[in-house]
Structure formats: structure tokens, C-alpha cells
Amino acid sequence: MQFIRSLIFSASMIIATVLISLVLVLCAPLPFHLRSRAARAYAAYVVGTLKLLCGVDYRVKGRENIPEGAAIIFSKHQSTWETYALQLLFPPQVWVLKRELMWVPFFGWGMATLKPISINRSSGRKAIKQIIKQGKARLDAGIWVTIFPEGTRIAPGKYKRWGMGGAILAEESAYPIVPVAHNAGEFWGRREFVKKPGTIQVVIGPVVETRGRKAAEINAEVENWMRTTMAEISDVEKNNVNGPASTLSR
């Protein structure tokens, strides 16, 4: 039965993705905040349909930590789920993502209208400079920037060295970081078709001030918070809390 429910959900999400992509392309001349509202409505549809059909709900702790002004979101990346949920939890935002996603039919076309910071991850320093330049411009315009420091979806309990791009943006721009931990991968896993019913735990951490601090120090603080918090909300992650921290080993 859960397979059938997941099948119906996936079909409805594909149809909704095609439709919203066409809407976003047609709305490209409109202001960003209007396009982001359309994207938010699409995200609400996906998250709501997932709950209705597959029984996957979520609970959020720490909403009071969301600041008034623009900030940089550092989120755990386990699933596709958080790419929708973050749009519902935070103000209008753009994402730092790999350039190849822009080539995906429909999805990439729609995403391109939402001012993402699309980088070539193999270009090294050039990608970092792009994140700094475009990230500052988005933040100065009052648009939040979402970064997944792991760079790709990582299965629960697994570990990947954090990238430095987001921390360098924070150092250079002095905008604060809002860390977000969650265990969505235990319910909507990477390359797992069947969605498992249950309640995703989301924790929005205290704001991390970055003014006058170095990127390595910033990354270390946020990563340590992330590991500790993940161990608190996920039994799968408990054994990962004492693993090697990427910034501390540099």
C-alpha cells in the first residue's frame, strides 16, 4: 500500500513540477518576490501532498531563532524534502546549487527564474568568487541564501567533508548564519522511491554571528552544532557526532 501511495505522490509531484515551471517561465518578467510566492505555493503543495498520501509530517523546534533581516541558511542535506520545506519555514530565498541542475527540463527552467547561484563545483576558486559576489548581492537585496555545506544529499549516519563556500560568504559579507538540522532522509531517502510514514524532526538553531570571524572558525561552530543536534533528533546519527570535523582537520 505504501508503494502505491508513493507512486501517486511521485506522479502528482512530477505534474506539479511541470506546471509550476511553465508558470515561473511565463512570470519571469515579474518581480522576484512574486515569483517566489508561486514557488512557495508549489512547495506547500508538495509537502502537504506528501503528508496526505504518504503520512510524512514534520515538527519544527526553534522558529523563534529566525531573525528579522536577511541571513544565510546552513542546512543538513539528506533528502529532497528540505528543498521544499525550507521555503515554507523561511522568507524568500535563493540556493547555491550545482550548475547541472539548470539543464534539467522543466525543473531547471523554472529554477533559473528564481535567481539561484548556480556554480560549477569543479571550478574551485572561481566558484567561491561567484558565491561571494552573487551571494552578497542577494543578501543586500534582502533575499536569504540557502547553502547545503555537504554539497549533495548524504544518507543518515553518513559523513562528508563540509565545503567552505558558505562560510567564506559569511566571513566576507558579515551576514549571520541560521543552522537547520533535520532527519528527513529517514523518511524520504535519496534514491528511495517508497516514502516512510512518520514525523520529520526539524531544529532551527540559534543565529551564528559572523562579523569579524574567519571562515574556518564559522564552519567549525556550525558543523559542531549540526552534529550534536543531529545526534539528539536521530538515533541513526548518534554514532556520527564524534567523527572528524571537516574544518577542524584543515
- Cell numbers placing 158: 553518513
CATH of the domain at 132: 3.40.1130.10
Which of 98-102, 148-152, 212-216, 245-249 has the weakest average pLDDT?
245-249
Residue 215 reports pLDDT greater than 70: yes
pLDDT in tens, 226-241: 999 999 999 888 766 5
Alpha carbon distance 99, 49 (integer Å): 28
Task: Examine residue 232 and state whether it is found in any structural domain, yes or no.
Answer: yes
Q: Under a CB-based contact definition with an 8 Å cutoff, are residues 204 and 178 in contact?
A: yes
Task: Examine residue 137 and state whether it is found in any structural domain, yes or no.
Answer: yes
Buried b (16+ CB within 10 A) or exposed e, 231-242: bebbebbeeeee
Question: For the residues 147-175, what does the mean pLDDT come to?
Answer: 93
Range of the domain at 151: 2-240
pLDDT in tens, 94-131: 999 988 888 898 999 999 999 999 988 777 789 999 99
Task: Examine residue 135 and state whether it is found in any structural domain, yes or no.
Answer: yes
Element (H, E) at 109: helix 107-112
Contacts of residue 176, defined as CB under 8 A and 6 or more positions apart, other chains included, come to 67, 71, 72, 170, 207, 208, 209, 210
pLDDT of residue 193: 95
Task: Examine residue 33 and state whether it is found in any structural domain, yes or no.
Answer: yes
Q: Which amino acid type is present at position 151?
A: G
Task: Examine residue 249 and state whether it is found in any structural domain, yes or no.
Answer: no
Alpha carbon distance 159, 152 (integer Å): 11
Residue with cell 528564481: 114
- Cell numbers placing 75: 542546512
- Cell numbers placing 15: 505534474
pLDDT of residue 75: 97
Q: Which amino acid type is present at position 217?
A: E
Task: Examine residue 248 and state whether it is found in any structural domain, yes or no.
Answer: no
Number of domains making up the chain: 1
The region that residue 155 occupies, defined by phi over 0 for left and psi between -120 and 50 for alpha, beta otherwise, is: beta
Alpha carbon distance 69, 244 (integer Å): 33
SS3 60: strand
Task: Examine residue 246 and state whether it is found in any structural domain, yes or no.
Answer: no
Task: Examine residue 180 and state whether it is found in any structural domain, yes or no.
Answer: yes
pLDDT of residue 242: 54
Alpha carbon distance 64, 61 (integer Å): 8
Alpha carbon distance 78, 187 (integer Å): 10
Instruction: Report which DSSP code applies to 206.
Output: P
